[in-house]
Every structure is written in structure tokens, then in C-alpha cells.
A and B are shown apart, each in its own frame.
Chain A
């Protein structure tokens, strides 16, 4: 944007003002006559990568705009590795790691210390990793980082906080059928991956109740080693000084066993119409579900272009046809899913009034037929690629985004220049590529359909759709007797 030196810019300013008074119309171009100047070259700042001899990977991203520092350690090992009879263990671990405090400080004492500085230290548990992070004003960094290290090495998992975290999980379990979206998200995963698949299974009263403090300590002892950790830090610091500070903190830490990724089998979902009855709604949630692909799949680039034109943006086919064209839905979209190291969840979803449930389903069906049959026009393809390529700058317009991008590639063993590769590959995608991946990955006859809604008000019975209808029982298994005596939430 800054083409002219400012002195001349002021001259231009006055000139335009004068013109505007006499003939404003001449100065205004219709949108399609505006010629954008080229985007100035922008090289995002790359973080510094350091690998310590104990295997720990550090990324340092300098950013002096604001007097803040934030850091995250992502640690291999997550809920896909927890035992089936203790589903919820990682979530409890991720909560109680922080709230349970350290050997020398309770979680409550940590809260007082941190809140007085408007600082945060948080921990969390995810499907394939756990994390511990900090966020503070740069003047508080040393004190907050010392507390971060204390929590990393000496967590106490105090029992009262484990009980508190369990009570909160019991609450979530008790409420999980109140909301249509929470039902359809959960059941979609179960249908796609299988009830016992670690990516789909859900905590129950019994599995949460089974988790003990010893389980949390054991988890910590099993996974928290430098060779399982990717540590990223972003903010207003001197990189050399920070690097030596981090090396001093981490370099003498002994290696431990590498976290192992569990072997997980993925099977195609069984095509059927799965139905969940919910009588207190006037709108149905419809999901068409299949297993997707991994990002490392060479078809990933073509799939992402296909998703963009099919169910991605404000001008995708699903949005244009089912929302704007037919007025059938407020929420509609989806595409072939992709995961970093597992098949993603392919999901086409919409929410439509009870009285147009089957019509909505048929609408989605028709769009799939059309996607497979009709390759995109040159114009449609260009639009989809432009959507991705012209907004590419937003993938790396802040140093923090770049840092997180690199940490993700490192975690999943992708090349660190994967984003650049993505851009080059998307540029090459043709209409034939899109049509090929549509036929390869979008199979109506292979997809399972999930409907959550009030069938008393449907336009047609679900058995007219042509798929076997299977009622899904979402009754929440009651708490085990031991818990009933003690009472969840009781004192």
C-alpha cells in the first residue's frame, strides 16, 4: 500500500478532495473495474528451531510488538492411549495437573500468584497429546516460568481437585443429551470410527469414577520426558538470552521412554440411517458420514479445493443451493475430512426444520450426485483456488501463527515447509483432479446417515429414504453403585 513517500501522499490527498467536490462520480469505480496493486512481498518471520541433546525440540519466535510472552509445551501421548475402562483419564489429567498444584504450592496458591499478575499457566489433555502453557507480561516471565517448571516436574495432583474435576465431568455427562449439536457430534464420530475406537469413545460415569490419583501420577511418569516434548515460545524477548535460559532449564533433563502411538484400526462405517429421537426440538440435524483421508495423502490438495467449492465458503454449492436457493437451512456445509495422522471425519451436515427432514436429506444426496457427475467449470475452479490462494497470507500474518504451524508440522513429522508446498500443489489442481477425488472419496452408497430430530413432525417417514433405519439409543448409562452411595457432587 505504501507506494508514495508521505510528502507526496499529502499532495495526492488534497488533490482528490478537490476532485471529489466537483465530480465524485468519476472517481468511483464499479467493483469489477478496481485493479488491485500487487500485494507487497511479505516474508513471515521464521521461528528459530533448536533440538537439545535429550531430544526436546525448542522453537523461539521473537515478537516485539507487545510486552508479552507466551509459551506452550506439547507432549506426546493423549486420550487415544488411555485404557478403555478409564476413558476420561487424560481429560482429568489435563485439568488436575494444573489445579492440583505442585509439591510446594497448592493449585489455589498458584491461582493467587498468577491472577495478581494477570498471568496464566494452564494444562490440558487432548486426543494425541497433552500440553502445559504460560502467558504473561514480559516483566513477570522469570517468576512465571519458574512456576511453570515446578509444575512440569513436580505436580502433586491433590485428591480434592481430582474429585472436583470428576464432578465437572459427571455434570457434562449428565447434560450431553440436552443439546442437538452435542448429540450429533458425538454420534457421528461413533458411527464413523466405531464405538470402541479411541477417537470416538466417550467418558461414562463408570470410566471417570475408575480414575485414581495414582493413574495421573503414572501417566505423568510415563510421558513427561524431554524427548516427547515440542516447546514453542513467542513474544518480546532477546532470542539469544532466551535460548540460553531455556537450555539451562531443559538441557540436563534426562531422556525417558518414547511415547508410542497406539495401533488403531479404522473400518468403513456401516451404511444405514441412524436415527436419534429428540422430541423437544423443531429442527432436525442431518449428518452424512464417512471416513476421510490423511493430510499426507497426495490427494489432500485436490480434496481441499473440492471441499472449498462444494461445502466451504459463502459461495459454495451447498451454501448456494440448499441455503440461499432452497431456504432449507441456516447451517449447512462440510466435506471430506483430513487428519494429520489418521483418517479425518467426512461429514456433510445441515439443520433443517422437522417438516423438511427428508427433503433436506434428498437435497444433500442430489448435491453429492452432482459433485461426482459434473466436474467444476473453469470459473468455479478458479474461484475455489482463488479463495485458498488469495487468502493465503492469513495463514502466517502473525508470528504466533507461524510458530504454531511449525510446531504442528514437527509434532506430526511433516516437512517444516509443508505450508509452502500446499500453496504450490493447490496452484496445480485441475477440474479433472477435483472430479477424480470426488469420485474416489465421496460415495453416497458408502455413507452412513445420522438424523437427530422429532420424527412425529417429519415430512416423510425415514424408511422411505431407502436405507435400513437403525434407532440409536443414547440413554446415559447410570453411575455405578459405588458412586451412587457416595453421590456425584456430594460432600
Chain B
């Protein structure tokens, strides 16, 4: 988990010696946070920060691409896109008519898809007819649409930073607004979490395919990562791409997305973080009114499949018309493991700034890489995941050299204690970064929602620092010995192989 933000009260208590902060400041910070779980199970954490009349929110849905059904990768992310398409109240000229139109689209699509997926005996003429019927139905439903009205309302009321993301673990929605628009925000956000409408679904699916082409297909490192994760994980859904496989993106339906929504977008599976000029005494009644509408549906079943222990070396070699790149990853347990914070210490000591080991060794002293780092929490944290290393070779240097240099650092961690200075830097930086993170409404809203979801209590934001303070040199060495073994490793490299007619990058390439 990214620990870049806010662990306030405890932090400030711990730092009371180092930082000249008055005691009344501590008390005032503590008073700023209110938390409430509505009867339907939705939890809202609110941090009052009245510096300017604005606020930010972060809605966290505890479902990500790890929840994508088999055959339908990319569905969680597709649902994220659909959450901007409006509701029965917003984005339509006539919902009653549109509703019927959308149902006909689904019927026509199902018929078309059934014919299209026939392994044998597919009738091309019938398929063409069914495709036309589907397209006609979409055209018919489209006439009722007011395009992007949801975004338009947010923006014309002063909303900024409107965005969303889907990760393996979760789906997040965010924007910021002037504080006087709080009730409008509550109306809009609760409406789309209650009944999003799957309008323009198949056009949006094409948009998502473009997103896949942009992020994965047409990017060398994107291509490597898809292959790498597919190799590093077998059982856990982390082996599938969040964006979805192209074939699944061409197959799943609006009905599938609606089902995903019904199952995972339930109040007890969501947390909202709010930070800004909001008085809890006035904000919570509004939250109760609007978000109280969401129906009380049981929390979806947890994923139980655990990644079996890796007992073999795995490797991916991408022969690509791009410059070389090096990646390696080791399986580690999920974020609730007692040693979670030790991985953070290792990551900080290896990678944070110009004093870090990877920089000093591979970049400064060996002069073989332009950048190199070791990092934890990839590609998610909720399930067993990876501690990974990457290195960007300088022209003329190979990925084999990267591997050797990374191994030297790994061996060093396993056989020698880190220094007192290194460990102290990790602790000092973690605390200071927390303070810096408090300056951002957006960042803080995300942290509140994330900690409340992952630990069941936003106060873990603070308690984390206790754990940081307890990390010892022996912990680092012990964990390094547990995790960094040959048979727990997956390698991923890009080897330069120019396509014909493609200009080479470095004349002194790695080949």
C-alpha cells in the first residue's frame, strides 16, 4: 500500500519531540475526523479541513479486476466507465422510452453473440442480419441520450479533477467541488451508486479497447507487464490484465456489467472519504438522506483462492523493437501480514532518493543503469503479491548485467544488516511524508477511504507509524531471507529486436 499520506494524530504524538507543535494542534487535528456507518452498511469518513471553501471526495468500491468473472476480464474497469453515463434522472430525454430501447439492444446483442460464438455451423448471412438488428437497436436507444450530462453537471457546477480508476483490488471515483455544492454532490454520487444506466455501453466498450491499445498493445513496457504478471501468478486473478483481454472486451455485454454492479456495488462494500470545508453536523444529515437510499444488499463473497507457493524459476523474454528493460518479482504475502511494514522498509532503503542502495549501486557506482528501484505492493495488496525490482539499462549495457547487479543487492540484504542510518532515514522520511500528504484534500480523502476499507478503521493511518518505529535490522534481514530466493522469482526482460524498416534506437544497443 502506498504510505505517502496522512497518519496524523499518532504521527504528531510520536513526533512531539522532533517537531515543535503545540499540544492544542494535536487535539484540533483529532477533532477533525468523524466517521459514520449508515444502516445500509455504507461507511463515510469525513475530515474537516476548513482552510478554503472546497471539498474532495473519494468513493472506494472494494471490488476490482480481481473480481472479473472468468471469460469477462475487463468488466470491473468497464463498469467504472459506465458510472459516468448517468442514471434514470440524468443523461436522458425520456427514460421510459430509453429503457425499452436498451432492453431491445440487449436482446439483439444476445442473439448476435450467440450466433457469433458458435464454434461450428455459424451462418454468415444470419450473423450479418443479427449484427444489423443489434446496430439498429443501438441507434434507436441512442436518440434519447444526452451525452455526458453527468460530467457536464459536475463541471459546470465547478467540479474539477473528475476521474476514476480501476485496480486489481478496487475501483475509485473522485473529484473536488466548491463547498456550497455539497448537496448536489450527494445527489449525483448517490444516484450513480444506486442506479447507473448502461447507455451507450457498446460504444464505450470500443473506447476501452482504444485504452487497451494505448496502454498495453502499443507500449513496450505495457506488453512486458501483461506477459510478466501472466507468468508470475497462476491461481490468483492478478495474472489477468485489469484492462481485459481483447477477446473478452469484444464479448461481454451490458447485462454482464449490470450484474457485476448488482453484486459488488453494495453499500457494505463501499467507503467514502470526504475532506474539506464540511461541517459534520450539517454534512452527515445530507449523507444520510441521499446515501440512505442505497439498498441493503449482502456483502459479496470473498475470493479464497490463494496463490500456491512458487517452486520454480519463471522467466518472460519479450523480443521487441524497443530498448532493453529489466524486471524481476518475488511473491510476498498480502498487506495484512505482520511483516508488511518490513517490506516497506526494504523498499525505502533500496529505492528512496539518491541515498538509496539501487541508485548508488547501479546508477552512481556501477554506471550500468539510468534508473533502478525495488518496490513492494505490486500489482495489488489485497492478496499475496510481489516485491519487484526494475532497471533501465544505459546504452550498451545488458539485462544480464542488471540481473547480476540486482542479485548483489539482494545478497547484501540477506547477509548483512542494513545500517542504523538507513533504518533511521526510512522512519524519518515516512513521518515527514505523512505530514506533507496532509496538505492535499484529494490525497487525504483517498487515504481515509483506503485505510477504512483495508483495516476496518481509518485510525490505522496513525497506528501504522507505531509499526514503522518497531522495525529492526534483524527484521529486514529475516524477511529478505524469506522472500528473495531463486525459486520464488519471476524474471521479465525486453530484448531489442528491431522490426525490418524500423529505425534502431541506440546504435550501441544491448544486442
Tell me the smallest distance from the CB of A13 to a CB of chain B, in Å.
Answer: 5
B508 at the interface (CB under 8 A from A): yes
Please indicate the chain A residues that have their CB under 8 angstroms from the CB of B208 in the complex.
Answer: 330
With CB as the reference atom, state the residue of chain A lying closest to B397.
A489
Question: Chain A's nearest CB lies how many Å from the CB of B220?
Answer: 5
Q: Is B421 in contact with chain A by the CB < 8 A criterion?
A: yes
A393 pairs with B370, CB closer than 8 A: no
Is B506 close to A, CB under 8 A?
Answer: yes
A474 near B507 (CB under 8 angstroms)?
Answer: no
B438 and A168 contacting across the interface, CB-CB below 8 Å = no
B163 to chain A: closest residue by CB:
A314
B 361-379 binary contact with A (CB < 8 Å = 1; else 0): 0011001101000000000
Assess the B187–A118 pair: CB atoms within 8 A: no
- The segment from B101-109, B285-293, B327-335 found at the interface with A is B285-293
Contacts of B284 in A (CB 8 A): 13
**Contact in complex: B160, A394 (CB < 8 Å):** yes
**30 interchain pairs, CB-CB under 8 A:** A1-B182, A1-B283, A2-B50, A10-B281, A31-B89, A31-B153, A34-B187, A40-B53, A40-B179, A67-B20, A115-B425, A115-B429, A118-B429, A137-B432, A167-B367, A174-B323, A176-B505, A180-B219, A283-B210, A324-B204, A329-B207, A330-B210, A330-B214, A331-B214, A387-B155, A391-B160, A394-B176, A476-B506, A488-B395, A489-B397
When distances are taken between beta carbons in the complex, the residues of chain A under 8 Å from B393 are 171
Q: With an 8 A cutoff between CB atoms, is B501 at the interface?
A: yes
The distance in angstroms between the C-alpha atoms of A151 and B34, with both chains bound, is 46
Query: Number of A interface residues, CB 8 Å?
Result: 105
Residues of A within 8 A of B283 (CB): 1
- Does residue B206 face the partner (Cβ distance < 8 Å to A)? yes
Also in contact, A38 and B180, with CB within 8 A (given A31-B153, A168-B370, A383-B152): yes
Besides A164-B363, A383-B156, 7 new A-B residue pairs in contact (Cβ under 8 A), listed by A number: A111-B354, A171-B370, A175-B322, A175-B323, A179-B219, A330-B210, A330-B214
A221 within 8 A of B: no
The answer to whether residues A488 and B428 also contact, given A1-B182, A282-B213, A320-B148 and a CB cut-off of 8 A, is no
Number of interface residues of B (CB under 8 A): 108
Residues of A participating in the B interface, judged by any CB pair closer than 8 Å? 1-4, 6, 9-10, 12-13, 16-17, 20, 24, 27-32, 34, 36-40, 42, 44, 65-68, 99, 107-108, 111-112, 115-118, 137-139, 164, 167-168, 170-180, 277-283, 313-315, 319-320, 323-331, 351-353, 382-383, 386-387, 390-394, 397-398, 400, 473-476, 478-479, 484, 487-491
Determine the chain B residues whose CB is within 8 A of the CB of A40 once the complex forms.
53, 179-180
Nearest residue (CB) in A for B433 is A118
Whether B219 lies near A37 (C-beta < 8 A) is no
Q: Mark B3-26, 1 if CB is under 8 A from A, else 0.
A: 000000000000000111100000
Contacts of A20 in B (CB 8 A): 288-289, 292
**Are B203 and A475 in contact, CB atoms less than 8 angstroms apart?**
no
Q: Given A115-B429, A330-B208: A1 and B53 within 8 A (CB)?
A: yes
For B21, B50, B179, B509, the residue with the greatest tally of chain A CB atoms inside 10 Å of its CB is: B179
Task: Tell me, yes or no, whether B188 is within 8 Å of chain A by CB.
Answer: yes
Q: Within residues 272 to 315 of chain B, which ones have a CB less than 8 A from any CB in chain A?
A: 277-279, 281-285, 288-290, 292-293
Q: How far is the CB of B227 from chain A (nearest CB, A)?
A: 15
Write the chain A residue with the least CB distance to B352: A115
Judging by beta carbons under 8 Å apart, are A390 and B207 in contact? no
B203 & A314 in contact (Cβ 8 Å cutoff) = no
Which B residues touch A170, using CB under 8 A? 394-395, 506
Nearest CB of A to B29, in Å: 10
Partner of B288, one of A17, A111, A484: A17
A6–B396 CA distance with the chains assembled, in angstroms: 68
Structural contact, B425 and A323, CB atoms closer than 8 A: no
Cβ-based interface call for B113 (8 A)? no
Task: List the B residue with the shortest CB-CB distance to A171.
Answer: B370
- Contact B353–A115 (Cβ < 8 Å): yes
Contact of A386 among B18, B157, B370 (CB under 8 A): B157
A174 touches B506 (CB 8 A): yes
On chain B, the residues within 8 Å of A179 by CB distance are 219-220
Contact present for A118 and B20 (CB under 8 Å): no
- Tell me if A324 and B180 are in contact (CB < 8 A): no
Chain A residues with CB below 8 A from B439, complex form: 65-66, 68, 398, 400
Could you say which of A10, A67, A116 contacts B425, with CB atoms under 8 Å apart? A116
Which 4 pairs of residues, A with B, have the shortest CB-CB distance? A314-B151, A390-B158, A327-B206, A489-B394
Q: Say yes or no: B499 contacts A280, CB within 8 Å.
A: yes
Pick from A31, A67, A313 the residue with the most CB of B within 10 Å: A31
Question: With A2-B279, A37-B180, A111-B353 in contact, do A13 and B285 touch (Cβ < 8 Å)?
Answer: yes
User: Which parts of B26-77 form the interface with A (CB within 8 Å)?
Assistant: 50-54
Q: Is B409 an interface position by the 8 A CB rule? A: no
> A346–B395 Cα gap in the complex (Å)?
35
B410 proximal to A (CB < 8 A): no
Residues of B within 8 A of A65 (CB): 51, 438-439
With A279-B502, A324-B204, A484-B508 in contact, is A24–B148 under 8 Å at CB? no
Q: For residue B175, give the distance in angstroms from its CB to the closest CB of chain A.
A: 10
A6 touches B279 (CB 8 A): yes
Report how far A31 CA is from B182 CA in the complex, Å: 11
Q: Is the CB of A12 within 8 A of B282?
A: yes
CA distance A320 to B203 in the complex (A): 12
From A277, A315, A473, contact of B152 by CB (8 A): A315
Q: A20-B288, A352-B210 are in contact. Are A13 and B281 (CB under 8 A)?
A: yes
* B160 and A490 contacting across the interface, CB-CB below 8 Å: no
- Smallest beta-carbon distance A129→chain B, Å: 23
| CB-CB nearest in chain A for B440 | A398
Question: CB-nearest residue of chain A relative to B510?
Answer: A174
Which residues of chain A are near B205, meaning CB under 8 Å? 327
| Contact (Cβ within 8 A) A390 B395 | no
Binary flags per residue of B197-215, CB closer than 8 Å to A gives 1, else 0: 0001011111111110110
Report the separation of the CA atoms of residues A476 and B474 in the bound assembly, to the nearest whole angstrom.
49
Query: How far, in angstroms, from A1 to B288 measured CA to CA in the complex?
Result: 17
Q: Is the CB of B435 within 8 A of A28?
A: no
Chain B residue contacts of A330, Cβ below 8 A: 207-208, 210-211, 214
The distance from the CB of B54 to the nearest CB of chain A, in whole angstroms, is 5
Q: Known interface pairs A37-B180, A353-B210. Does A327 touch B203 (Cβ–Cβ under 8 Å)?
A: yes
A365 and B320 alpha carbons, distance in the complex (Å) = 35
Which of B178, B213, B429 has a CB less than 8 Å from the CB of A393?
Answer: B178
Contact with A along B470-511 (1 / 0, CB 8 A): 000000000000000000000000000001011111111100
Q: How far is the CA of A111 from the CA of B485 in the complex (A)?
A: 32
Contacts of A27 in B (CB 8 A): 289
